[in-house]
Amino acid sequence: MSDARMFPHRHLLGIAGLQPHEIGFLLDEAEQWVELNRATSKHDDRLRGLTLINAFFENSTRTLLSFEIAGKRLGADVVNMHAAQSSVKKGETLIDTAMTLNAMRADMLVIRHASSGAVRLIADKVDCPVLNAGDGRHEHPTQALLDALTIRRRKGRVHGLTVAICGDVLHSRVARSNILCLTSLGADVRVVGPPTLIPAGIEQLGVATFTDFDAGLDGADVVMMLRLQMERMTGGFVPSLREYHAFWGLTPERLARAAPDALVMHPGPMNRGVEIASAIADDPDRSAITEQVEMGVAVRMACLDVLTRRRRGVEGWA
């Protein structure tokens, strides 16, 4: 299959709803962009003439930059809208903002928003493909895709690997999208964290839960650490940062419980000395953290390319 049947979706709002072969298709497509991004001249013109608007209603460093670079490397005109300087602060509704972006004839919208479901609300109102760059605690699909690509390249496969997703699972859209993506690709996924930070009923997503860190790490092939998302916490989810690190921080001693060649990941931004010790984060043999960032650009290039094929009239997609 080399046409629209490979990826029949208009938007990328989440990993939920994607078939395993559709996830695999996006990862395969991303490989060519890894190569291009490592070349001296990093330019491809396929999105020439198209306008990409990155509308970020929540802070971001790597995701915003990554989408901006991805769009530019494919030749699109890229515009970034920061909500802090926008009319959102003047009380404009989300729908009105969406209609404004639509009236400017954006060809792709990349949206980050603090509310779960906000990105779908916008997608339902506009004429162009919408990519979810993180909505509340709900989904962050390109993060899961870049993590799967990183694992696949480092380990040669995803299927059959044991992946431990550790820490603040409750507040994490990264965890949710990764659970959906990695289970769909056939990994054995564990969620590991203090009981206050594990969402009730998470087992329904096909994961095993562990509230003992050492037991959860035992024999894991991939250890994915999550940021402690203090900004989403309203009460006392953790006693103190020092205590959190003592019980739930990934240290070299702790990591010894995992498989000898276990890969350590973190979506960033990291709280060094809280969920992860610098000795691990900075160890290139164990940590894939900078590679995750690299794969992020390639995956986003693949998503922007694939989602605009119909609009560009690419043969087999129009």
| Binding positions for carbamoyl phosphate | 62-63, 112, 140, 143, 268-269
Are 8 and 269 contacting, i.e. CB atoms less than 8 angstroms apart? Answer: no
Residue 257: CB minimum distance to ligand NCD, A? 24
Residue 137: CB minimum distance to ligand NCD, A? 9
Residue with tokens 């479901």: 117
Query: Within 13 Å, how many C-alpha atoms sit on residue 192's CB side?
Result: 27
Residue 63: CB minimum distance to ligand NCD, A? 4
Q: Identify which of residues 51 and 66 has a Cβ nearer to ligand NCD in the complex.
A: 66
Residues that bind ligand NCD (CB under 6 A): 62-63, 134, 140, 143, 173-174, 227, 229, 267-268
Q: Identify which of residues 51 and 54 has a Cβ nearer to ligand NCD in the complex.
A: 54
Amino acid in the structure at residue 226: L
Q: Identify which of residues 14 and 134 has a Cβ nearer to ligand NCD in the complex.
A: 134
Residue 67: CB minimum distance to ligand NCD, A? 11
Residue 65: CB minimum distance to ligand NCD, A? 11
Q: Identify which of residues 11 and 266 has a Cβ nearer to ligand NCD in the complex.
A: 266
Q: Identify which of residues 30 and 50 has a Cβ nearer to ligand NCD in the complex.
A: 30
Are 179 and 193 contacting, i.e. CB atoms less than 8 angstroms apart? Answer: no
What would the two tokens of residue 247 be? 């019980």
Q: Identify which of residues 150 and 229 has a Cβ nearer to ligand NCD in the complex.
A: 229
**Annotated binding site: which residue ranges?**
62-63, 90, 112, 140, 143, 173, 227, 268-269
Judged by DSSP in three states, 55 sits in strand
| Cβ neighbours around 48 below 10 Å, total | 11
**Cα distance between residue 211 and residue 196, in whole Å:** 10
Q: Identify which of residues 199 and 268 has a Cβ nearer to ligand NCD in the complex.
A: 268
Residue with tokens 């009380």: 91
Which residue, judged by CB position, is nearest to ligand NCD in the bound state? 227
Strand partners, 222: 163, 263
Nearest to 304 by CA among 89, 115, 46: 46
What would the two tokens of residue 91 be? 């009380």
DSSP letters, 149-195, are HHHHHHHS--TT-EEEEES--TT-HHHHHHHHHHHHTT-EEEEES-G
Residue 105: CB minimum distance to ligand NCD, A? 28
Residue 276: CB minimum distance to ligand NCD, A? 12
* 105 phi and psi angles, rounded to 5 deg: 60, 50
What would the two tokens of residue 174 be? 């990264």
What torsion do the CA atoms of 245, 285, 213, 160 make, to the nearest 10 degrees? 150
Judged by DSSP in three states, 56 sits in strand
